[in-house]
Structure 1
Amino acid sequence: MEKVFGYIRVSTETQAEKGYGKDVQEAAIHEFCKKNKLEVVKIFKDLGISGTLFPRDGITELFSALSKGEIKRVIVMNTSRLWRADNSKVMIKRQLMKDSAMLTSIEQPTYSIYDKDPNDFLLNGMMELLDQYDRLNINMKLANGRRQKAKGGIKSCGNPPIGYQWKHEGVKKPIIVVDNDKVEVVREIFKSYLELKSIRKVQHYLFELGYKTHHGKDFSAMARRNILTNRFYLGEVKHSDLIVKGQHEPLINKISFGKVQSLLKRNQRKGA
C-alpha cells in the first residue's frame, strides 16, 4: 500500500465556504485514500492562514518530510488549498518538483504539476529565474566562505600544494601541515633553480634524483614554474585580490623566494 501525506488549509475567508472546512477536508482525504488503497501517514495543516502567504508552518513541515525521500505523494482536496496567488504557486510547485513529489487533487483528478500549460508560461519563467538565483546565491555563499577563511589565513578547500597535506585526525577542523615525504622536493626545486638558473635544467636534476609529483609523474615546466611562484610556500594565503599571512608553516624564506622571482623575471625577458 502506497504511503502518502495529506495537506489541508483553512483561511478566515474559507472557513465558511461550503466544502472547505477543516473537518470536511480531512474527511475527504481519508475517504479518498481508503477508496484508492493509500495509507495516510500524516496530514499537515495550516489553519487560519491565507493561501497567498508563503512560507507557512504546515507546508514547511510537509516539505521537510518530503525531503527525506520516503514518501513522494501529497493529497489535497483542491489546489486552492495549496495556493491562492501566483507567487505562492510558483514556490510550492517548484519545491514539489525538486522533491520529485506527485500532487493529487481530489476535486481535480486530471491535474498534474508536471503538465505543461500555456497559461503557466510566465510561471515557468519565474521558476527558472528562481533556480538561477538559488545557484547564484549558493555560489556567493561559498565564495564568501572561502574569502572569510582566507582572511583568517586558512586555505579554504582543495588539494594543498605539494609539500603540504591535510590533517584530519586529532583536530576539530582539518588543517594543513607539512608533508614530510614531499617537503624536500619543494626545497630542492627552489635551491636547484637558484643554482642552475634554468627551469629546463631543474627538470633534469629532479629526474636524476627520482622526484615525482603527487600523481607519480615527472614535473612539467608549468608545474615547476607554479611551484616557484606559489606564495603559499612563504606562509601566505591568497584568495582573489586578498593576500594574508597563513596559519601553515612556510617552507621557503622570503630572501630565497625573492631571489627566485627576480631570476624568473630576468630569464623571461631573455626568453630563457
Structure 2
Amino acid sequence: MKLVAYIRVSTAGQVSDGYGLSVQEKAVRAWAKAHGHKIVHMVREEGVSGAKDAVDRPGLSEALLMIQEKTAEGLLIPRLDRLARAVTVQEATLMYVWRHGGNVFTADAGEVLADDPDDPMRTAMREMAGVFAGLERRMIVKRMRDGRAAKAAAGKKAVGAYAYGTHGQGEGRDRDAAPNPAETAARARILELRAAGTSYRGIAEQLDTEGLKPRRAAKWSAMVVRSICQKAELT
C-alpha cells in the first residue's frame, strides 16, 4: 500500500519525551518495510502543537490532501499522539481519512480500525487514549509553569536566555545563572573599552582582533556589543 508518513514534534513534546523527528522517521520506515508498504512521501512538522486543527498545520493538511487526491492510500504515523494531542482533533482527522477511503496505521500498534457500530468499545478505547494524551500534554505544561514560578519565587532565573557572561548551572529547579568562564573575560573587556569611550563598532573590531568570541556568530557586531552594555547597565 502507498502511504504518506506524518511525523511531528512540538517544543514541549520534544523536550519531555525525546521522541524527535529522526527517531519517529526511523520507526515509520522500519514498520512500512516490515509490513510490505511503500512510503511515497514523508511529511515533517516541527514546533507544531498536536492540539491544533489540521487546517492550522500545513504538514498535516498536505498529508490529508494526498489521501483525498488518492496519491496515497493511507496515513502512517509513529503513534497516535503524533497525530493529535486533543481528542477532538484526533477523531476529526481519522474520520477525514476514512471518509476518503484511506487507512490509518501507527508504527507502534498497526492499523487504527475504523469505527464499527457493532463494536462501540473500539471507538471508546481509542477516544480514551486521546483524552489521556491531551491530559499528559496539559500536565507537562503545568509542571513547566510551576517550575518556573518556583524558581522565580526563589530569586532564580526562570525564563529566557542566559545573559552573555553567564550560563545555566545545576539541575531542575536548582538550575540558575552562573558565571561562564569562556565569556566572562570578553564581557569584562567590553565594559572596559566602553568605559574608555570606545564606540560599539570599535569594541566589536577590537574583540575580533583579540580573539574573544561571541556566543553564536563568527564575528562580533556593534548591535551585540550594545546589547551587552545595556544589560550591564540594568544590573
Q: TM-score, normalised by structure 2?
A: 0.47
Greater fraction of residues in helix: 2
Q: TM-score, normalised by structure 1?
A: 0.41
Greater C-alpha Rg: 1
